[in-house]
Amino acid sequence: MKKIYFLLCALISGLSFAQVTFNPGIRVGANISHLSDGPAQDYWYYNDSQGYHYINNVYDIKSKVDFYVGFQANIRFAKFYALQPEVYYTRQGGKLESKTPGVDPKTVSLSYVGAAVVNKFYIDKFNLHFGPTLELLTDHKEIDHPTDADLGLLFGAGYDITKNIGVEARVKKGFVHIFNDHTNVTFQAGVYYTFNLKK
């Protein structure tokens, strides 16, 4: 018990006397996104000489490539840990390929303004990070009445190529059903640039 108490005191003391630094930056990269939880469906009626007929159309969901761009504020509390709030714009969705012959595929597009609170743990030039996300829908195409907001978690890793430039890869999983039973799943790969602030 004394050893645990000593380690906790050492950790708190190290954080207390460490020089906290603040460095803003920008992030940009590619999204490879899709919609989870099985095939998508829609339906419609059509009329011919024999009356109205009901059609249930089923789609296979494929990945869609788009982009994200945003700002970050890296608050470095210790050599091994930083808290990084982020705001960003991201375009997600998926491609729907119909199983019904003669029905054209369509691309679902979901645009969000989002925010994340990212915990970053550093090992030399590498970092591992995770945190919660909140995204507000700003635009949508090829989808009816999607949910206005999404909550999720992100997990990822990064590497500082130089003091200012780095690369990152993340997986972001939403937990809100955007439409029907489908949720957002997005893989991100990109770069970040950190600005040095004078002391």
Strands 106-123 and 21-35: unpaired
Give the Cα-Cα-Cα angle 149, 185, 33 (nearest 5 degrees): 105
pLDDT values of the chain reduced to their tens digit, one per residue, 199 residues: 655 555 555 555 554 446 899 999 999 999 999 998 766 655 444 555 555 544 556 778 889 999 999 999 999 999 999 999 999 999 999 998 877 777 788 899 999 999 999 999 999 999 999 999 999 999 999 888 899 999 999 999 999 999 999 999 999 999 999 988 889 999 999 999 999 875 5
Find all residues with CB under 8 Å of 108, minimum gap 6, and list them.
35, 64, 93, 94, 95, 96, 140, 141, 142, 143
37: Cα separation from own chain's centroid: 17
